[in-house]
């Protein structure tokens, strides 16, 4: 007795196998093997790396703090959309919970990034 999900599992296995074989296998097999200084150089937003990057290719922390700030805004948006949709049904408790969330996620995170110098661009 076979499971009704067996054809779906076989289909997914074939799809994953094809993707791995075509992208990784054939790319490594048929791709050019020419390396130059531009390929191994660190990439920083399409511009030349800042002079503050040390010899090991490390970048200033400002890039990481900007990325974390972006993630904070994304998570905040993800939680604000369902709140806006069900605002009438949540009542005062929902309003207070969202206010506490916004104060924590927005103001405290922004104050931290601002104090660390993540918003100062030289």
| In the predicted structure, residue 61 carries a pLDDT above the cut 60 | yes
| In the predicted structure, residue 78 carries a pLDDT above the cut 90 | no
Structure-token pair, residue 91: 């009542």
pTM over 0.85: no
Tell the residue number behind the tokens 């994304």, with chain if given.
74
Distances (CA, A) of 97 to 15, 21, 86, 100: 44, 49, 13, 5
Q: Say if CB 88 and CB 94 are below 8 A apart.
A: no
Q: Say if CB 108 and CB 116 are below 8 A apart.
A: no
Structure-token pair, residue 15: 């799809």
What would the mean pLDDT of 62-86 be, rounded to a whole number? 80
Q: DSSP string of 56-75?
A: T----THHHHHHHHHHHHHH
């Amino acid at each position: 007795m076979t499971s009704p999900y067996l054809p779906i599992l076989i289909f997914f296995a074939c799809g994953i196998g094809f993707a791995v074989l075509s992208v990784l296998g054939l790319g490594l097999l048929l791709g050019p093997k020419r390396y130059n200084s531009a390929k191994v150089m660190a990439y920083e937003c399409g511009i030349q790396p800042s002079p503050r990057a040390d010899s090991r290719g490390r970048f200033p922390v400002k890039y990481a703090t900007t990325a974390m700030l972006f993630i904070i805004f994304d998570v905040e948006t993800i939680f604000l959309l369902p709140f806006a949709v069900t605002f009438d049904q949540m009542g005062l408790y929902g309003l207070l919970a969202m206010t506490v969330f916004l104060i924590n996620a927005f103001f405290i995170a922004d104050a931290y990034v601002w104090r660390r110098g993540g918003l100062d661009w030289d």
